[in-house]
């Protein structure tokens, strides 16, 4: 699943990613496209949610395959980033920032998923920031405390999100301690192209086990990446996977994965089904010098690189990331994939005093060969971190 860290760590990473400037392309004349990509659009009039934006794209041209678009609403919800992700080798990834003209600013119409089941195991701190981050993930929004007040009632396991007077929104919603259903979580059932480890594939085809846990773990990484609300209850889903009924079918280079859960903890009895294309074996990059393969080891490897540059206070994530990629894979790689790199690599630790930044490509990456740290033991893929050492200026 996407960013299988602790729940607070996941929410922090998701929030931080939205704070950095996004690389955007407003013209695609030099890019290869064979889909109906509405690149002439600069403004979309819609409810400011991911689902609302995709609905408008589909209405704009019925031939548009919205499954090939990844959408992020930016902080403040006045704009969004649309990524065109064709999953085809002969087509380019494209990114464009668009303006959003709201059809409503009423929170009761924007926040349609208001269930947030409470679990001491998964949500150690039921606080305002966690509630807002979770509701944003569930609704495909990017509300901030500048626009809304969040009030939590821990004893009742409930909360409210109310629009601040004089700001951009009106109204408010009650967040209740009520189970979710899979249709509220799996809003992107088309996963695109995924990578299955050769051993995992061969074991599945040879044994045809009733519950192929290794293959399920592989597919679920992509389910979690494409459906980001899974990050809220990642630990719970690890247990759900063990107790659920699921099946996977692979034929030629297409696959389906179905899961049914009949218990009543976090998730009410419900099911989902996803479809995907798959590639067997390794066909992606390693965030390592000259794309050198990083082996799968019990103790995750740490790739250490030195960069002859002194970090400045205004150096943002994109700048730091590009420094690391330039050192490992080169500027040509940046030029080719710059439009989606902001969503492919995370900073997991930073120590500016020591000049050390630790990065990791995300699990289920479209570019990098890597699995989640915990899931790697089942997916049989590698996990590693990259520790970049920058110059340090002496204060003496």
Looking at residue 36, its pLDDT comes to 58
Residue 382's pLDDT is what?
94
Q: What rounded mean pLDDT belongs to the chain?
A: 84
pLDDT at position 226 is: 92
Angle of helix 7-17 relative to helix 128-139, nearest 10 degrees? 70
Element (H, E) at 173: strand 172-175
User: Is the pLDDT at 88 greater than 90, yes or no?
Assistant: no
Look at 333 and 211; give whichever has higher pLDDT.
333
Least confident segment among 55-59, 156-160, 366-370: 156-160
pLDDT of residue 58: 85
**pLDDT tier at 20, thresholds 50, 70, 90:** very low
Residue 157 sits at the vertex; the CA angle it makes with 152 and 161, to the nearest 5 degrees, is 35
DSSP label at 392?
-
pLDDT tier at 120 (50, 70, 90 boundaries)? very low
pLDDT at position 319 over 90: yes
pLDDT category at 177 given cuts 50, 70, 90 is confident
Confidence of residue 25 (pLDDT cuts 50, 70, 90): very low
CB 363 within 8 A of CB 279: no
Please state the rounded mean pLDDT for residues 9-29: 35
Taking the alpha carbons at both ends of the chain, their separation in whole angstroms is 46
| Total-model pTM | 0.84
pLDDT at 2 > cutoff 60? no
| Token duo for residue 267 | 């998730």
pLDDT grade for 221, boundaries at 50, 70 and 90: very high
């Amino acid at each position: 699943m996407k960013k299988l860290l602790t729940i607070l760590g996941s929410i922090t990473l998701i929030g931080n990613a939205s704070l950095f400037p996004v690389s955007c392309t407003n013209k695609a004349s030099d890019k290869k496209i064979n889909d109906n990509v509405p690149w002439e659009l600069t403004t979309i009039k819609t409810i400011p949610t991911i689902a609302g934006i995709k609905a408008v794209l589909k209405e704009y041209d019925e031939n548009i395959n919205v499954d090939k678009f990844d959408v992020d609403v930016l902080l403040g919800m006045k704009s969004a980033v649309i990524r065109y992700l064709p999953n085809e080798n002969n087509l380019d990834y494209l990114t464009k920032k668009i303006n959003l003209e709201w059809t409503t600013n009423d929170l009761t119409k924007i926040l349609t998923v208001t269930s947030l089941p409470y679990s001491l195991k998964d949500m150690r701190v039921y606080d305002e920031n966690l509630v807002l981050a979770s509701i944003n993930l569930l609704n495909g929004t990017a509300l901030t405390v500048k626009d809304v007040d969040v009030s939590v009632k821990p004893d009742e396991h409930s909360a409210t999100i109310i629009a601040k007077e004089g700001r951009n929104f009106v109204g408010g919603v009650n967040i209740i301690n009520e189970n979710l259903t899979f249709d509220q979580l799996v809003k992107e059932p088309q996963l695109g192209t995924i990578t299955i480890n050769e051993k995992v594939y061969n074991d599945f085809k040879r044994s045809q086990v009733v519950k192929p846990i290794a293959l399920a773990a592989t597919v679920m990484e992509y389910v979690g990446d494409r459906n980001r609300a899974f990050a809220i209850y990642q630990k719970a889903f690890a247990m759900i996977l063990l107790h659920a009924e699921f099946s996977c079918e692979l034929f030629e280079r297409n696959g389906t994965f179905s899961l049914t859960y009949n218990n009543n903890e976090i998730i009410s009895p419900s099911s989902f089904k996803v479809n995907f294309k798959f590639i067997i074996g390794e066909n992606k990059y390693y965030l390592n010098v000259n794309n050198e393969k990083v082996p799968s080891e019990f103790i995750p490897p740490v790739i250490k690189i030195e960069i002859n540059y002194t970090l400045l206070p205004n150096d943002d994530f994109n700048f730091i990331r590009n420094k690391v990629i330039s050192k490992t894979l080169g500027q040509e790689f940046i030029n080719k994939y710059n439009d989606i790199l902001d969503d492919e690599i995370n900073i997991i630790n930073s120590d500016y005093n020591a000049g050390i930044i630790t990065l990791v490509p995300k699990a289920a990456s479209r570019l990098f060969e890597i699995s989640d740290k915990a899931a790697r033991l089942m997916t049989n893929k590698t996990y590693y971190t990259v520790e970049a050492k920058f110059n340090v200026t002496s204060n003496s």
